[in-house]
């Protein structure tokens, strides 16, 4: 399908990135970061922006405040060709913000959710005359307004003829209040990383975690960072190695870019192996520029960089 229509439902925030930090913070002391960037944040927004850069007709559904950060997010999404017609602005809410302290390929995050919690299932445009092909939901535990309705959200998406994907992300409260046995049958592609899957299933190994959720899966796209990814469907299990990165800058949004690459291929009807490979490629590309969207200026630049770094001719169909 040319220009598949993607609907992303999720949280919106800015990222304030501090890099080249001299040491870890300590109470009562001040430290120095040699670099700072303010950029579009949120797992959902990064996935949406990079999907649009790759050619998908992408619409975002979320909530921001009537403030500078809200203006910044809308401007950045529109600049990335993401439709913002289903983003609500609230006078009584502040837009979310994540402070990110980068230490090499690891980081510490502090998030102020703000308006994220105000998004509800009633805000999702299931009744639009022109439907969407695919629904992607991310950062479940940061969105209290839809958390209790997540199963119904996917049921309604299925009823509207959409395929679905979920990247639940980390639970800051570490309660993992997600009934995966009830919800995952309505999720076409479940997209956690290793630590999230083990925490959700309360297991100590990936193999145990996979076996625990396997009865409820349609497709699992498990992100494993430098180790690549694992794809599991009803008929196959595939391990796809990561692409080596020699121009590493930071890993902010790498998992979200994996999601964008995987879902782009998935919407085109590609095989699981091709979806995983595209996910790994876009996750690797993400790490070559600062922030989650820096490496995804436009399709021409994406093509050029992938050819320069890995000698690959990109095909998104």
Does a structural domain hold residue 249? yes
C-alpha dist (Å) from residue 190 to 2, 139, 166, 216:
24, 13, 5, 10
- Dump the DSSP string for 209-234: HHHHHGGG-SEEEEE-GGG-EEEE-S
Does a structural domain hold residue 19? no
Q: How many domains does the chain have?
A: 1
Does a structural domain hold residue 135? yes
Does a structural domain hold residue 110? no
pLDDT 10s digit of each residue in the chain, 317 long? 446 699 999 999 998 989 889 888 989 999 999 999 898 989 999 999 999 999 999 999 999 999 999 999 999 999 999 999 999 999 999 999 999 898 876 778 899 999 999 999 999 999 876 689 999 999 999 999 999 999 999 999 999 999 999 999 999 999 999 999 999 999 999 999 999 999 999 999 999 999 999 999 999 999 999 999 999 999 999 999 999 999 898 888 899 999 999 999 999 999 999 999 999 999 999 999 988 888 998 899 999 999 999 999 887 65
Paired tokens of 10: 């999720």
With contact defined as beta carbons under 8 Å apart, do 206 and 199 qualify?
Answer: no
Beta strand pairing call for 219-223 and 57-65: unpaired
CATH number at residue 205: 3.40.1190.20
Does a structural domain hold residue 275? yes
Q: Which domain holds residue 304?
A: 5-12+43-95+117-310
Does a structural domain hold residue 31? no
């Amino acid at each position: 399908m040319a220009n598949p229509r993607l609907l992303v439902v999720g949280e919106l925030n800015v990222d304030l990135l501090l890099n080249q930090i001299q040491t870890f913070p300590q109470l009562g002391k001040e430290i120095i970061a040699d670099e700072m960037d303010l950029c579009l944040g949120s797992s959902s927004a990064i996935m949406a922006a990079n999907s649009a850069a790759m050619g998908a007709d992408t619409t975002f559904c979320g909530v921001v405040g009537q403030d500078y950060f809200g203006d910044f997010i809308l401007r950045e999404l529109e600049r990335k060709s993401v439709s913002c017609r289903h983003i609500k602005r609230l006078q009584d809410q502040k837009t979310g913000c994540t402070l990110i302290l980068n230490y090499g390929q690891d980081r510490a995050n502090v998030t102020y959710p703000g308006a994220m919690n105000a998004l509800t299932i009633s805000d999702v445009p299931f009744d639009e005359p022109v439907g969407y092909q695919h629904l992607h939901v991310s950062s479940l535990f940061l969105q209290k307004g839809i958390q209790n309705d997540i199963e119904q959200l996917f049921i309604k998406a299925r009823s509207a003829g959409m395929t679905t994907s979920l990247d639940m992300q980390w639970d800051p409260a570490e309660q993992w209040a997600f009934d995966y046995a009830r919800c995952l049958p309505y999720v076409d592609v479940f997209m956690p990383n290793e630590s999230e899957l083990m925490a959700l299933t309360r297991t100590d190994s990936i193999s145990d975690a996979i076996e625990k959720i396997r009865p409820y899966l349609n497709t699992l796209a498990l992100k494993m960072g430098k180790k690549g990814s694992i794809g599991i469907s009803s008929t196959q299990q595939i391990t796809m190695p990561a692409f080596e990165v020699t121009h590493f800058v930071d890993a902010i949004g790498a998992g979200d870019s994996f999601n964008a690459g995987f879902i782009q291929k998935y919407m085109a009807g590609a095989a699981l192996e091709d979806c995983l490979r595209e996910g790994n490629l876009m996750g690797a590309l993400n790490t070559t520029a600062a922030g989650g969207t820096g490496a995804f200026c436009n399709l021409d630049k994406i093509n050029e960089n992938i050819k320069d770094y890995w000698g690959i001719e990109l095909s998104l169909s």
